[in-house]
């Protein structure tokens, strides 16, 4: 009986934030668990609003209905504004992207007012941005939307994230890179809200989440997912993006393999309702999409 009362008292202390300094965990405390320290290098404006990736030689950017290729100085080199031509399933929306072995991997779907369907993984040629092939997702996985995609270079698998919450957004989904076969889903513990980007880097998966309220000037975040062979994975906050020019909507991201720079796409100026642009904030006549570059240095723990 004494043990039970002690347990109840401990839970009450945690709930009220009293009796335990450990219960008051600040973002600064959480960032001490990060794998890296991040130093802002610079930013440049781009056309696309969905995702960014790099092979070390070029930046590739996705818009909702377009693919773009930039040089490392931020100059636009190539655009494919009809990316869905040749797709085996109708699509009207592109999310995050990744590049691997000369191919751009695209997360595509039919998306409208917060609802996605007909998910597919489309592969484009990195040199021309033209469509090459596609493979469909597995409906039995329970995934109801795709916000981003990345390639695990070590295991030769593909991961997808879901922006839609509830059951679909509690997992990340893994496929075979070689066969396209669905492998599994992994339960995120705890679950970041409004997942936007996913990327694999040096043994860990990372997620960006649009979980800050822009109207209150709250930053969005980067999370690290400690994936193993189990059906679940712990999630740790890696970074709060306090350095951006104005808080808005975080999107896809990647790491430059030649410079160890985190590149992350951020949108500002537009009002987002159910995942779609619905007008602009005062002072803006258009949405501004920017790629921010951060130098990554291993965190001294």
The yes-or-no verdict on residue 18 having pLDDT over 80 is no
Q: What is the pLDDT of residues 174-191, one digit of tens each?
A: 999 999 999 999 999 999
The yes-or-no verdict on residue 63 having pLDDT over 90 is yes
Cβ atoms of 184 and 159 closer than 8 Å: no
- List the CATH code of the domain at 27-298: 2.40.128.630
Which has the minimum average pLDDT: 15-29, 119-133, 218-232?
15-29
pLDDT, position 282: 81
Bond before 295 cis per omega within 30 degrees: no
* Per-domain boundaries in the chain: 27-298
pTM of the entire predicted model: 0.88
Contacts of 12 (CB under 8 A, 6+ apart): none
Instruction: Kindly state the tokens that stand for 234.
Output: 């712990």
Calpha distance 37→197 (Å, rounded): 19
């Amino acid at each position: 009986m004494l043990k039970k009362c002690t347990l109840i008292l401990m839970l009450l202390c945690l709930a009220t934030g009293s009796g335990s300094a450990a219960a008051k965990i600040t973002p600064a405390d959480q960032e001490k668990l990060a794998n890296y320290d991040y130093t802002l290098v610079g930013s440049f404006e781009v056309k696309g609003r969905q995702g960014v990736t790099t092979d070390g030689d070029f930046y590739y950017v996705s818009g909702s209905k377009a693919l773009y290729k930039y040089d490392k100085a931020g100059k636009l080199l190539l655009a494919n504004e009809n990316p869905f031509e040749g797709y085996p399933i109708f699509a009207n929306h592109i999310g995050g992207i990744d590049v691997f072995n000369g191919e751009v991997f695209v997360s595509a779907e039919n998306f409208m007012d917060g609802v996605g369907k007909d998910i597919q993984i489309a592969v484009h040629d990195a040199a021309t941005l033209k469509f090459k092939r596609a493979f469909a997702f597995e409906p039995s996985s329970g995934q109801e939307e795709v916000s981003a995609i990345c390639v695990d270079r070590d295991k030769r698998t593909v991961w997808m994230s879901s922006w839609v919450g509830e059951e679909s957004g509690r997992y990340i989904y893994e496929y075979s890179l070689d066969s396209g076969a669905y492998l599994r889903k992994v339960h995120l513990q705890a679950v970041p809200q409004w997942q936007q980007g996913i990327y694999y880097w040096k043994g860990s998966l990372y997620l960006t989440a649009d979980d800050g309220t822009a109207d209150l000037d709250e930053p969005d975040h980067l999370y690290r997912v400690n994936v193993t062979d189990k059906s679940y994975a712990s999630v740790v906050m890696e970074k709060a993006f306090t350095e951006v020019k104005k808080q808005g909507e975080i999107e896809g991201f990647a790491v430059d393999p030649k410079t160890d720079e985190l590149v992350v796409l951020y949108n500002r100026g537009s009002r987002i309702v159910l995942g779609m642009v619905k007008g602009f904030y005062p002072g803006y006549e258009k949405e501004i999409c920017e790629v921010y570059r951060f130098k990554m240095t291993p965190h001294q723990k």
